[in-house]
Chain A
Amino acid sequence: MQLKPHARILAIALSLAFVAGCSSTGGGQDGDLTGSAGGADRDGVTTDSADGRGVSGERAGQRADADGRIPETRTIYFEYDSDAIRSEFESVLTAHARFLQNNPNASVVLQGHTDERGTREYNLALGERRAGAVERYLNVQGVSPSQVEVVSYGEERPAARGQNEDAYAQNRRVVFAY
């Protein structure tokens, strides 16, 4: 669905404002926004690990207006050992697809995660497969591949601790990080 012209201009303006806020708090030295593919040129070591923490860009600029707003729901969940998009999350993906199409300057990192069962490096590959399934879904909906990057964290960044199905279910996820 297309926005009316004036709404669309507003959306682009807001998203540009968001992007600007993002790059200033994200610590990028060259104004580069949320990391182009590879991200290899960024300074290597996390200097903030020793002397205080940098503000992460994904927290910035979450509030915008009307159709320029990044969809509220930024995490979708998966069944065990599956990369299939659950039907209940299709509307979430559609909303993100619409946002990205309407804001061609916006980009998103799809962070793939698994629960802790199984080996770490295999889980890293499974997390990538999950995020890749979301990426394909967005692409099919018309989102430009240049706006989407996949980064898998495997089981390294759990959202919930614990050895139970409730924690596992919270950890099998893909996060939209704008």
Chain B
Amino acid sequence: MNILKTTWLAAMLMLFTSLAQAADLTIEITRGSDRATPIAIVPFADGDDMPQDIAQIVSDDLERSGYFEPLERRAMFERPASSDEVRYGDWRALDVRYLVAGRISREGDEYRIQYELMDVSGESRMIAESVTAGRQGLRDAAHYISDQIFEEITDIRGAFSTRIAYVTSSGVGDETQYALHVADADGRNSQQILSSDEPIMSPAWSPDGGKLAYVSFETERPAIYIQDLASGRRVRATSFEGLNSAPTWSPDGRRLAMALSKDGQPEIYVMDIGSRDVQRVTNNSSIDTEPAWSPDGRSLLFTSDRSGGPQIYRLDLGSGEEERLTFTGNYNARARFAPDGEAIFLIHRGNNGYQVARQDLESGRLVALSDAGQAESPSVAPNGTMVIFATQQGGNGVLGGVSADGRASFRLPAAQGDVREPAWSPFLN
């Protein structure tokens, strides 16, 4: 009964808040990769005024990845709309490796986008495809095109059609308002899915992309909730005495790892979502928190201060064996696996403050990726090419992104207030 009432209220809150247009985040590229491949994305010939600049969205996507360096439009002295119109020599002279051209026609309420990808040096066509979308689906269509181009050239699946969840806060002291949002991976199309005058923390995507688990203090105690994104329905998964924190989904979507302190100090537990049974998997007198599943679901990373300061450990769920992974510096926390399981991304404190770092598991070598600052909450793109994280800019919390090799970076500031705790969705298509 209580859950039902809670759900209904949540739905009402969502209706209320969706009326107020949430401010989107806006991408700012802060550093391009020096190894980026030059590409030209020619503005698509569209005839009419288009509600979205498809070629610009594709260009921004590819640039943000750090893999590509799009040619500026003002440097394009010809604008082919199809491969027939391309004079390859002209583009070679601009040192462009790849070229994208396209045209858009309108058929009733639908837009038909025909685009082609060309290899400039080979003078060959790599992709020719037609995509149809309604007005509301144009940005999705653009991200789809980015995914196709990215995969064709890099052999890595594109992650531009994914989403991010994040937490915002505005106001100070007792007047602070907290909210949980979901937006496209480029920060646009943001939707507020929960608001509260108590803290919201630790959003985590289910592996099918349909649900978020998170921590909310709305009862003035931390509790873990699971919310269905399509319906807005939610349930309270745990509200034990003490900490209920840091939920993360197992790769099969059937279990949640979390940190609870119901038995004393914070320990890692695994909950079977179906039965709600909770099993304790760590046991010592220090803090154990921030669990993260390995891609194969057989082990968990977690942060523990059993050695004095926080360090990353790996727990084999089958054998129960624990192994310390980080030895560089005296503060390493909140690790997440790369999708291939061969590296971890974490927060490392060194001479430059708190930075996102990558540690190769075989060599044990740790490399800082983000700029000096106060990075938190790294979350890895499902294709492993980028990490999104929270940082500070001008005294406000903003989201930052950095390529997995550290060469390219971007920021996603909000118009106002603080943004933090980004969580990158799995592949959604």
A-to-B contact residues, CB < 8 Å = 35, 37-51, 53, 56, 109, 116-122, 124-126, 128-129, 150-154, 156-157, 159, 161-163
Bound Cα distance from A15 to B5, whole angstroms: 34
30 chain-A/chain-B pairs, Cβ below 8 angstroms = A38-B240, A40-B223, A43-B5, A43-B219, A44-B6, A44-B218, A44-B236, A45-B13, A46-B198, A49-B195, A49-B196, A50-B16, A51-B16, A118-B347, A118-B376, A119-B310, A119-B333, A119-B334, A119-B347, A119-B376, A119-B377, A120-B202, A120-B377, A121-B245, A121-B290, A121-B303, A128-B266, A153-B217, A161-B395, A163-B374
* A122 with B287: CB separation less than 8 A: yes
A126 contacts across to B, CB distance below 8 A? 287
B2 contact from A41, A117, A156, Cβ within 8 A: A41
* A117 with B374: CB separation less than 8 A: yes
Q: Which of B46-54, B140-148, B173-181, B408-416 contacts A (4 or more CB under 8 A)?
A: B173-181
* A121 with B201: CB separation less than 8 A: yes
A120 contacts across to B, CB distance below 8 A? 201-202, 376-377, 420-421
B17 contacts across to A, CB distance below 8 A? 50
Known: A44-B219, A125-B289, A151-B220. A118 touches B196 (CB 8 A): no
- Distance to closest chain B CB from A59 (angstroms): 9
Q: Is B40 in contact with chain A by the CB < 8 A criterion? A: no
Q: Is B328 in contact with chain A by the CB < 8 A criterion? A: no
* A38 with B196: CB separation less than 8 A: no
Bound Cα distance from A39 to B221, whole angstroms: 7
Bound Cα distance from A109 to B333, whole angstroms: 28
How many contacting A-B pairs (Cβ < 8 A)? 145
* A124 with B197: CB separation less than 8 A: no
Q: Is the interface of B mostly helix, strand, loop or mixed?
A: mixed
Q: What residue in chain B is nearest A81 (Cβ atoms)? A: B309
Q: Is B37 in contact with chain A by the CB < 8 A criterion? A: no
* A50 with B6: CB separation less than 8 A: no
B239 contacts across to A, CB distance below 8 A? 38-40
Known: A38-B240, A151-B222. A45 touches B9 (CB 8 A): yes
* B287 with A125: CB separation less than 8 A: yes
Q: Residues 196-235 of chain B: 1 if any A CB is under 8 Å from the residue's CB, otherwise 0? A: 1111011000000000000001111111000000000000
B290 contacts across to A, CB distance below 8 A? 119, 121-122
Q: Residues 389-422 of chain B: 1 if any A CB is under 8 Å from the residue's CB, otherwise 0? A: 0001001000000000000000000000000110
Q: Is B57 in contact with chain A by the CB < 8 A criterion? A: no
* A45 with B242: CB separation less than 8 A: no
* A49 with B220: CB separation less than 8 A: no
Q: What residue in chain A is nearest B17 (Cβ atoms)? A: A50
